[in-house]
Structure 1
Amino acid sequence: MRMVRQPSFGFIPCSLGGLRSEHGAVRNEASALCCSSTSPLSSSSPWLIDRSPRSKQRFKEARVVECRMNLRGGSLGQWWNLFGWIPFLSMGSASSHTVESLTSRRKRLWGRPADPSGVAAQHDTKKIRKTQCRAVHTGGDMNRENDLNISSFSKEIVVPAIRLDARHCSLVHTELRKYLFNLPKLKIVRKDHENPDKRRILLVSKHVEDDGSMQAMFRNTSNDHAYGMDDMHDDVKRFSEKYDASIVSEKVMITHQNLGADEMMRELLPENVTIPTGFQQIGHIAHLNLKDEHQPFKHLIAQVILLKSAHIKTVVNKVGQIENKLRVPEFEVLAGIPDMSTEVKQNDLVFKLDYSKVYWNSRLDHEREVLVEGFEPDSEIWDVFAGIGPFALVAAVKGCNVFANDLNPESHHYCKMNYKLNAKKFGKRCEQLVAQCSNLDAREFIRQRMASHAANSTRRRVHVIMNLPASASDFLDAFNVDSSSACEPPMIHLYCFSKHDDPEAEIHERACLSLGRTIPRESVRLREVRLVAPGKRMFCFSFPLPR
């Protein structure tokens, strides 16, 4: 910044070219205006920096000064915020302008009171997103299925409390731990209003059911019951006799903050409707697989998850089954912001994806490590159904030469993007790995790689990853190519589902039929990956390609 000295005044700025607004963007337009003859901050302007003690005090109270720019015709054309290095702007006596506070200036020019959150808060995308995704009903009746009335979870109950000397509080936490009335964000140790040397610690009575749920506590607590020693467990009675403690009744206000997602859903859903068992998290997205019985309450369930999960901004539900050949499911947004572009961190790698356009499974992070652990660092990997590259990138980090393929153009795009995003992991090999990504049909990709492998004089070990459990075995016929090469045959890792009592025999028979050749049973390795659904399991079927 160039500073110009004016007699008996001080320093004024002649350029704001490097000034950044609260949004981080360089205001080039502001720079041009400030240098113009009409700008109040031009070199001939009487606006100066006031360094007086009074000005410094004003700077502490308001760091942002709004400057009005009079453009063509004298109309109000542009505003921006000046902050940081400008404590306050004042003017010489020859000027007709006056310095106004932030509040009074906005009120005069815009005709309404200032926004106490500041101008920048209106444009802060992160704050807007956070406000939108946390928007829930805080009062009123739940007349619509989309409304979550969090005030309906507030209730006052009476629970038993053990009254004892403050010096014995730590003993309660050790000897009576399983009888404590523990709820999230609830203070169970309270002061005694009658004696400052006493404390009251909230407990559960013996009438509470043994299932340990919060609902059991609420069902067996009353707002008018007077608790005594007869309502407590034998361990509590013995402890009270030993340390001269007594049992009293204590009023407790329970809100939605003291309940978990399951407890809130039990309050919302009818007794004959089961609680959703969980969801898959993909970055800021929560992916639900709701049953038919949950459909009438799907928006309430989604808002509960949104409210109780700090990192969730979007809740979606899968609609129907994945039947298209690109493996892209259809979703409906139930709550939060409709933003399906997200970022996932797994296996010490960062993956970007658009969940509405590509397939992703967060539950296979351990499987990737297990599979790649058996690869030699100089192996060649053919990832036939690579997706956005989770298996491919993990193998490339180990030092393998990876050829990643996927039929989905969006998956192909994100696979290359993720290579570049994690370029430091691959060093100089990054460009080569990106160039080896392909967007081909699985059979065409296999045939090309088999032809290249047969013509290659090197004896590098090849591993073929076929992670398409629903139909990967159907593509084994692509390996039926004539080859007289003496190269070691590829090791195929076939992922598939099975509901059979003898999955190894069933998968082996299926693979032999598709391949058109007999696979020796002694060369086969079968490993269970995970339980997908009751009676449905996912396996990894590994075998060398028979000659």
Structure 2
Amino acid sequence: MASTQDTAQTPFKFRPPDNKGVTEINDESKKLFCASFQVPALRVPAAATNAFLKAGGEYLLNLPRCRSAVEDTAHHQSGDVAKGQHRIVLLRKDFPSDPSLIPTRLRDLISQHAAALVEHTLTLDYSYWTPEDILRSILPAGLQPPGSFETAGHIAHLNLRDEYLPYKSLIGKVILDKNKQLRTVVNKLDSIDTEFRFFKLEILAGDDDTVAEVRESNSRFLLDIRRVYWNSRLQFEHERLVRLFHHGCVVCDVFAGVGPFAVPAAVNASWGPAAPGVETNPSAPPPSRLVLANDLNPVAHEYLARNVALNGVEGQVVPYNLDGREFVRRSLGELGSERVQNGIKEAVKRSKRRAREREQALAARKRKRDTDDDSDAKGRREKSGTSQVSSDADTETVDIARYRWPHHYVMNLPATAVEFLDSFDGIYRPYISLLAPDVRSRVEDPEHYDPPESAEGMPFPMPMIHVHCFSRSEDPEVDAIQLVEKHLRCQLPPGSVTAHRVRDVAPRKEMICVSFVLPVSVAFRHNKDEKKT
């Protein structure tokens, strides 16, 4: 056991002994981190402990996870006094030895209770030190402990730089020891799966179990972080976009992964504004959203389907396993398909039935609180009422027209999402026949292509596109918008586009979300019309 002394010139810092030669963390090596410190203390009557703690104020030893008053084990073990008669109040290392410098209230208590100023041996072992303390003790001088890490359920996810790799097993073991909720520590490797865009990992410590359950945005997610992409640092971005979606809207998630946008959008129907131009009933639950959620990775698609079921949003979230371009081009037709239309009908009925059953249960509890009379009869009425709620919900009509056209597309694949913007070229051309004759004549003939600037008066809205990308520019918002315009091959009108800074990914590399209304000129663009844009 090491003994550490302070110096009068600098404030004292409690640290474990240096252990630069440690190569493994085990029961034997943990003993090397035990250290004893001599600190001033007051030996006080047990009954007066609280009074001393109140009067001690800033002179008390304020050490995280350490009590300021401890048992007087030294005198008890020596047989001087009976156990429990006195307590030891720990003081700062710089507690004044000159009585005149001690606060009056504390000085009076010392005199009143004949408290003795003593030296106390404070022992701190491996279990006390923080991960940073332990790693600072182990790592070479000048190499600071690595920063924060992400978690996914029971898994800690590190992204260690090269200089830490010789110590990666030690780092993993310390993090595992010091975070009892964790069972596995992994490190991201440089290699990335080029087709499905998830990082390959190595196990540093703990169980070889990379299937985690994560709770986020009132939703539960199952995922295997070794086979799908997940980033806990994007939770605020997930919620930010979901809160932009109006009630009862249609969302197409092009790169959905395991569902961090799609599932919360369906689960949290009350998030976001009311549908524009639609009168709402404040006492009624908001209409359900419909989400078409796609991912090319078959494993991500499998977990997406499981998460849809896990959160009870079948029919509201419809999973697809397609290439992103194919999904975008098929999305309008899919919204009119029997599979999607029947699914959302059943989902809406289910949602309304659940809401009414909750209301019925609340009303029943209120009646029970109001009176206990005739409880048997009330029980019969409650049972009958619940049955009637289900029947009504199953037979009522659903406003299916609101789910015919998309309102939002989410494209969260920042490395390459902008390259998929060309998939929006002409996706509304199959529906030209629905346009008014004067509008149809302006977009139908590619030789006389003169689309209107807005979709005002059209039988369907132009969707809002939310595309994520990276920027290393000094003005990342402007740079991101210009990147989007480049791939759209048109300029976006002022006021129709915004850029939001999501997070710093690396020094001088930011993740940006560009949101814009799909231009009519792109929506009806003909393949031969590139020169006109």
TM-score range, shorter chain: 0.5 to 0.7
Return the offset for 1:457.
7.5
- The one-letter code of the counterpart of 1:400 is R
User: Which deviates more from structure 2 when the two are superposed, residues 191-200 or residues 507-516?
Assistant: 191-200
> How far apart are residue 363 of structure 1 and its match?
1.8
What does residue range 166-185 of structure 1 map to in structure 2 within 5 Å? 166-174=46-54, 176-183=56-63, 185=65
1:412 match = 301
| Alpha-carbon distance, 1:505 to partner | 1.0
| Equivalent residue, structure 1, for 2:491 | 518
Please state if 1:199 is matched with 2:87.
yes
Aligned twin of 1:151:
31
Aligned to 2:97: 230
One-letter amino acid matched to 1:448? R
Q: Say whether 1:241 aligns with 2:121.
A: no
Q: Which residue of 2 aligns with 1:422?
A: 311
CA drift of 1:411 comes to 0.2
C-alpha distance in 2, partners of 1:167/1:490?
A: 72
Root-mean-square deviation (Å): 2.9
Offset at 1:147? Answer: 5.3
1:162 aligns with 2:32: no
Amino acid of the structure 2 residue aligned with 1:518:
Q
Q: For CA contacts below 8 A with separation 6 or more, give which structure has more relative contact order.
A: 2
Listed one character per residue, the Cα deviations across residues 324-353 of structure 1 (whole Å, up to 9, x for unaligned) are: 231210111111111111211112211111
Rounded Cα–Cα distance in structure 1 between residues aligned with 2:298 and 2:99: 65
Q: Which amino acid aligns with 2:321?
A: N
Q: Secondary structure at the match of 1:199?
A: strand
Partner of 2:170: 300
Q: Is the 1:314–1:339 Cα contact (8 Å) retained in structure 2? A: yes
Counterpart CA distance in 2 for 1:303 and 1:352 is 25
Corresponding residue of 2:213: 343
For 2:336 and 2:425, the matched residues in 1 are separated by: 13
Cα distance change on mapping 1:396 and 1:261 into 2, 3 Å: same
Q: Does the alignment pair 1:190 with 2:70? A: yes
SS at match of 1:474: helix
Residues 229 and 247 in structure 1, CA contact (< 8 A), matched pair in contact too: no
Matched, 1:468 2:424: no
Deviations 1:442-493 (CA, angstroms, capped at 9, x unpaired)? 1111111145579998675511111112221111111111623532111011
Kindly indicate whether the alpha-carbon contact (under 8 Å) linking 1:298 and 1:334 is maintained by their aligned counterparts in 2: yes
Going from structure 1 to structure 2, the CA distance change for 1:331 and 1:177 (only over 3 Å counts) comes to farther
Q: Secondary structure at the match of 1:315?
A: strand
- Give the secondary structure class of the aligned counterpart of 2:214: strand
Equivalence for 1:377: 247
State how 1:383-398 maps to structure 2 within 5 Å. Answer: 383-397=253-267, 398=269
What is the SS of the residue equivalent to 1:390?
A: coil
| CA deviation profile, 1:184-230 (whole Å, cap 9, x unmatched) | 55444123436665432222223xxxxxxxxxxxxxxxxxxxxx733
Q: 360, 364, 368: which is aligned to 2:234?
A: 364
| TM-score normalised by length of structure 1 | 0.64
Shift of 1:287: 0.5
Q: Residue 489 of structure 1: SS of its match in structure 2?
A: coil
8 Å Cα contact 2:150-2:158 kept in structure 1:
yes
Contact 2:193 2:200 in 1 (8 A): no
Partner of 2:327: 445
2:292 to 394, 397, 403: 403
**Residues 86-165 of structure 1: matches in 2 within 5 Å?**
144-145=23-24, 149-165=29-45
| Letter matched to residue 424 of structure 2 | F
**2:217 matched to 1:328?**
no
Which residue identity does 1:419 align to in structure 2?
A: V
Task: Tell me: CA distance 1:360–1:166, structure 2 relative to 1, closer, same or farther (3 Å).
Answer: same
Q: Distance in 2 between matches of 1:420 and 1:330?
A: 27
Q: For residues 353 and 502 of structure 1, do their structure 2 counterparts lie closer, same or farther at Cα, with a shift above 3 Å needed?
A: same
Tell me if structure 2 keeps the 8 A contact 1:147–1:300. no
Shift of 1:364: 2.0
Within-5 A mapping of 1:486-525? 486=458, 487-525=460-498
The gaps in structure 1 that reach 5 residues or longer are 1-139, 207-227
Residues 508-547 of structure 1 mapped to structure 2, 5 A cutoff: 508-547=481-520
- Could you say which structure has the higher helix fraction? 2
- Residue by residue over 1:356-386, the C-alpha shift from the partner in whole angstroms, topping out at 9 and shown as x without a partner, is 1101111222222221112122111100000
How many angstroms apart in 2 are the aligned matches of 1:468 and 1:179?
A: 55
Find the residue that maps to 2:97 and give its secondary structure: helix
Q: Which residue of 2 aligns with 1:6?
A: none
> CA–CA distance in 1 between the matches of 2:202 and 2:132?
22
Instruction: Give the unaligned 5+ runs of structure 2.
Output: 1-18, 270-287, 338-399, 436-457, 521-533
**What SS class does the counterpart of residue 205 from structure 1 fall into?**
coil
- Determine the C-alpha separation between the residues in 2 that align with 1:407 and 1:492: 19
Describe the superposition over 1:254-299 as per-residue Cα deviations: whole angstroms up to 9, x where unpaired: 1112111111111111221111111111111110111122111111
Find the aligned partners of 1:303 and 1:353 in 2 and give their Cα distance.
Answer: 23
C-alpha contact (below 8 Å) 1:383/1:404 kept by paired residues: yes
Contact 1:164 1:243 in 2 (8 A): no
Instruction: Give the Cα separation in 2 of the matches to 1:324 and 1:172.
Output: 65
Query: How far apart, CA to CA, are the structure 1 residues paired with 2:322 and 2:473?
Result: 32
Q: Read off the aligned partner of 1:302 and give its amino acid letter.
A: G
Q: Quote the Cα distance in structure 1 between the aligned partners of 2:92 and 2:505.
A: 38
Alpha carbons 1:159, 1:249 under 8 Å: kept: yes
Tell me: CA distance 1:472–1:336, structure 2 relative to 1, closer, same or farther (3 Å): same
Q: Which residue matches 2:273?
A: none
Q: Which moved more, 1:248-257 or 1:182-191?
A: 182-191
Shift of residue 249, structure 1, vs aligned partner: 0.9
8 Å contact kept, 1:229–1:237: no
